[in-house]
Each structure stands twice: as structure tokens, then as C-alpha cells.
Amino acid sequence: MRRLLLLSLAGAAALVLACSDDRPSAPDTDSDEVILSKFEADDSAGPSPVATDWSAGVGPTVRTYEIVIENLAPATGPGASQPFSPPVIATHRGGMHLFRAGRFASGELAQVAEDAVNGPLVGRLQNANGVFAVVEGGGVILPGDEARFEIQTAHGKRLLSLVFMLVNTNDAFGGADAIPLPAHGERVVYLHAYDAGSEQNTERTTDIPGPCCGNPLVRVPTHERIRRHGGILGVGDLDPATYGWDEPVARLTVRRIRPTYEVTIENITPATVPGGSQPFSPPILATHWGGVRMYRVGHFASDALVRIAEDGDASVMAAMLGASHKVVGVTTGSGPILPGASATFEVEGPYAFGRLAAAFMLVNTNDAFSGVSRLRLPHGGSAEYLLGTYDAGSEENTESAAHIPGPCCGNPGVRVPTHEPIAMHGGIVGSGDLDPADYGWTDPAARLTITRVK
């Protein structure tokens, strides 16, 4: 269905552009409104999606975190001190606990603490209603080393718990129980070693599974409550100087990863001749908070946008965006996007209220470009948009081979300058050297798909 979007220049003039000239043009009529095409970006929200898929990517309330576990035990020798077993990590709701000092260890926790057997605990967590995600490490964490993991959570389940065994012990384990995940940024927590209370601390090689001893599933059982571990005391075969540790035993860093998106730009102009029709220049993409625009229809193009629209040069725009505190990240393509082809980029957005700006040149033109200026990033799932084409108004549309940088002509940096406001482009009309049958197109020129993946 065709939509006509009305943009009030009087209201919009109060919004200063970060990346474009904010001088409004005079409308052709007495009205103070500019009528935009159905492919034009609305001043507040951007174009409406033509398709959405909530099953793609991640949901609206999902958050992704990086978990870093650093082993602080001393590296006293090969296989010595206290390697950590592969950890079990879970995100969950309140009221759930992997362990609590002063309580008895569950059978599943005891198997981790005694023999680094994760399977029963992982299975129980995966089947628990209050758990959102479970991650299991793939290898031991040696003294002085660290391991990194990613885990997701969602609204109502934003607590983190994890456990791992100190493998050169009878039943010592480290971990964190039900710690709140940060809404943004990172949190550092120092972790202590606990005694599971399910096995006597004989410190004999015949009872310990780690590289010091190699005897899993052998123990002298006890039934004591979980408590802070007293360390290696030298009561058996283990030398405290080699296998002991100081508290805390580990450093845990939890960092929220910014919402992350896959952005795909597909060139849907016709592939009429080799290198013909309209290849796109390597696009520039930026994620940002409000207050940043690459362009605005009815206003004059900034010098940075002119460089893109006339010669496909995004370097000035990249520098300008990179210097703005309102911009989260800037990405530039590595090559052109030919008709019928697409390119996909991964970008990080703000924690909330994120927007996307993107621009690229239709290179077999004088100064045609396409993109979005402040498109709202989806909270979750995937959204697809169709993009029209704009005339930057900085160069006369001579359609002369002498003035066009693309493969049709090969003449960058040459133009007949004009000073007109940005408007929808009229396409190739055959007024110069370019045949509309070879180099023309009908809007939309591009398909933009945004999928939230983290």
C-alpha cells in the first residue's frame, strides 16, 4: 500500500543534523511541507518494514554477556597447583541456587566437586523452568590462564551462577551463586573455593581425580554442609607448596555485549550489462543514538555526503561519525555490491533506542545515492526494508561519461557543480551518454535486512 509521509520543515528545522547541512530549501509551493515517496525515510522512525520475522535471531528482551573466568591459583608446575575443570554456567530467575554455604550439596553438584562430572548438573539445569541458558566449558582452565564464554538471558531471568572443580583436591569447587547481571558495562567478582562436604579431605593420591593423582570416582564419603575450603593442609600425599592456593581462587568478569545485528544490503537494480546498471559503492554504516543524521531530504548535503554521492568516497563521513560521542560504531564495506549481489555486515548498537545510518553511491550516476539516516534498529527478530534513491543535489545530472566515476565511465572527481537540496532521484533519463536501457533502474534500488543476533 502506498504511503505518503509528510515532513514539516518548520518542525524539523529545530533538529540539528550532526552529519549534514541543516539549511532547509524553499519548497516549490506555498506549503511548508515536503511530500516524500513511499521509499523515503520518515523523520522519526525511518521507512516501514515490508517484512518482519520474530523467529529470526534473538528476541526483544534477550541480552548477551561475555563471561571471563581467570584462574588465580599459582602456577607451581606442570599439572600442579589447581587447574579448574570445565565450568558449568547458567542464567536463571531468582529463587534458584546452584549452591549455598551452610546447606548440603546436591548430588549433581557433588559430582562436579568430586570428579568434574558435569553431565547430571547440566541436564538438571537444562530441564529447569527457571533457567534461560546453560553453557559448559570445553576444557580445563590452567593456573594463570583464562577462559571466555558467551551466554544469553532474558527478562525475569537475569541472574548468573557457575561452578567448577579444583581438580587436585578431594571435593573443592569454586563458583558464583545467583549474582545479578549488569544492565550495561561490566562487573568483576572474586570467587572463593568451597568444600562440598561430600568427600573426606584425605589429600591422598588414591582419592583425587586431577593430574596429580589420576584417580576419579574414588572417595571416602562424608555428609557435611558446604563451607569455605581450608586449602591443602599436607595431611596426605599433597604438598601445600605445590598444590595449595591463596584466596580468592578466581576472578570473574561479566560484560554485557551490546545488541548486535547482521545488516544485509542487497542490490536489486537490474544486471543489464557487465559492470552495468548500478553497482553500489562500498557502503558505510553507523549505529547511533538519536541526533545523528547522514542526510535529510529537503536539506543540502554535507561535504561528507557529497563525497559519497559523487565518487563513492566514505572516508570523510567515517571520520566525522567516528568523532561523534553519539555514534556507537562505524563500519565500511570492502568492495562494491554488484546488481543481484549482497553484502552482510555485523554491527553493535546502543543498549537501547538504537538507530542505523547507512549510505552508498549508485556509481554509474553523477550523484545518486541510497541508504537510511536514522532507522530504528529492531528490538528483536528480523526486519526487511526497501530503499529508494536520492539525488544529492551537488552535481548536475549530465549523464556524461566525462563526469561519472563508475565502470561505465571511469572519471572520478570530475563534475558540473550545483547547489540543490537533497531530493528523490529521477533515474537515468538519457540526456547524456548513458542509455537508460543499460544503466536505468526503478525504485526501490536496494533491499535492507536487519537481524538482531545478540
Q: What is the pLDDT of residues 333-376, one digit of tens each?
A: 999 999 999 999 999 999 888 999 999 999 999 999 999 998 99
From 257, 273, 297, the end of a domain falls on 257
pLDDT of 45: 53
In 32-123, DSSP assigns E strands to: 33-36, 51-53, 63-71, 88-92
Q: How confident is the model at residue 4 (pLDDT cuts 50, 70, 90)?
A: very low
Is 366:404 a contact under the CB 8 Å cutoff? Answer: yes
Mean pLDDT along residues 74-82? 89
Q: Are residues 263 and 253 in the same domain?
A: no
Domain shared by 185 and 232, yes or no: yes
- Look at 130-134, 157-161, 292-296 and tell me which has the smallest mean pLDDT: 292-296
Question: By residue range, what is the domain housing residue 27?
Answer: 5-36+259-452
User: pLDDT above 90 covers what percent of the chain?
Assistant: 73
CA separation, residue 308 to residues 282, 333, 402, 447 (Å): 10, 13, 18, 19
Across 314-443, the runs of DSSP E, i.e. the strands, are 327-332, 342-348, 355-361, 368-376, 382-387, 389-391, 423-424
Does 420 lie in the same domain as 336? Answer: yes
Find the mean pLDDT for residues 74-92: 94
User: With b meaning 16 or more CB within 10 Å and e meaning fewer, what string describes 215-225?
Assistant: eeebbeeeeee
pLDDT grade, residue 16 (50/70/90)? very low
Q: Is 28 exposed, middle or buried (0-12, 13-18, 19+ CB in 10 A)?
A: exposed
Q: In this structure, are 252 and 263 located in the same domain?
A: no
Give residue for cell 596426605. 236
Alpha carbons 167 and 173: distance in angstroms, whole number: 8
Within a domain: residue 55?
Answer: no
Q: Indicate if the pLDDT at residue 313 is higher than 60.
A: yes
**pLDDT tens for each residue of 389-435:** 999 999 888 888 888 888 878 888 778 889 999 999 998 898 888 88
Measured distance CA(37)–CA(78) in Å, rounded: 69
Mean of pLDDT values over 172-179 = 97
Q: What is the DSSP letter of 157?
A: B
203 assigned to some structural domain: yes
CA angle 173, 175, 179 (to 5 degrees): 160
Q: Which of 237, 257, 277 is the last residue of a domain?
A: 257
CB 122 within 8 Å of CB 112: no
305 and 235 in a common domain: no
Please tell me the predicted confidence (pLDDT) of residue 428. Answer: 86
What is the pLDDT at residue 30? 30
3-class secondary structure, 123? helix
pLDDT band at residue 42, thresholds of 50, 70 and 90? Answer: very low
- First-to-last CA distance in the chain? 32
CA angle 361, 362, 363 (to 5 degrees): 90
The share of the chain scoring above pLDDT 70, in percent, equals 89
pLDDT of residue 97: 96
User: What is the average per-residue pLDDT within 84-100?
Assistant: 97
92, part of any domain:
yes
Q: What mean pLDDT, rounded, does the chain reach?
A: 88
In a domain, 215, yes or no: yes
Give the containing element (helix H, strand E) for 317. helix 315-322
pLDDT at residue 423, rounded to an integer: 94
Domain boundary pick from 225, 257, 289: 257
83 with 106, same domain?
Answer: yes
Give the C-alpha separation, 170 to 386, whole Å.
63
Let me know whether 245 and 297 are in one domain: no
Separation between Cα atoms, residue 238 and residue 133, nearest integer Å: 37
- In this structure, the answer to whether residues 438 and 350 fall within a common structural domain is yes
Confidence band (pLDDT; 50, 70, 90) for 63? very high
In whole angstroms, give the CA distance from residue 11 to residue 33: 10
Mean pLDDT, residues 281-308: 93
Residues 30 and 123 in one domain: no
**Is residue 293 very low, low, confident or very high in pLDDT (cuts 50, 70, 90)?**
confident
> Has residue 267 been placed in a domain?
yes
CA torsion sign for 420, 422, 428, 429 is negative
Q: Identify the pLDDT of residue 28.
A: 34
Is 247's pLDDT higher than 90? yes
Check pLDDT > 50 for residue 3. Answer: no
Tell me, yes or no, whether 300 and 425 share the same domain.
Answer: yes
- Helix/strand/coil for 48: coil
Residue 164 · residue 85 · CB < 8 Å: yes
pTM of model > 0.75: yes
* Grid cell digits, residue 431: 540526456
Alpha carbons 129 and 150: distance in angstroms, whole number: 21
Mapping DSSP to helix (H, G, I), strand (E, B) and coil, where does residue 112 land? helix
Indicate if 213 and 266 belong to the same structural domain.
no
**Does residue 44 belong to any structural domain of this protein?**
no
Q: What is the dihedral of CA 394, 397, 400, 403, to 10 degrees?
A: 10
pLDDT at 159 over 90: yes
Query: Are the C-beta atoms of 391 and 397 separated by less than 8 Å?
Result: yes
Residues 147, 141 contacting (CB under 8 angstroms): yes
Please check the confidence at residue 39 and state whether its pLDDT lies above 70.
no
The CATH number of the domain holding residue 290 is 2.60.40.2130
How many domains is the chain built from? 2
102-153: pLDDT as tens digits? 999 999 999 999 999 999 999 999 999 999 999 999 999 999 999 999 999 9
Do both 199 and 303 map to the same domain? Answer: no
The reply to whether 58 falls in a domain is no
Residue 50: inside a domain: no
User: Using 50, 70 and 90 to split pLDDT, how confident is the model at 46?
Assistant: low
CA-to-CA separations, 158 to 90, 131, 161, 179, 180, in angstroms, rounded = 10, 10, 10, 9, 6
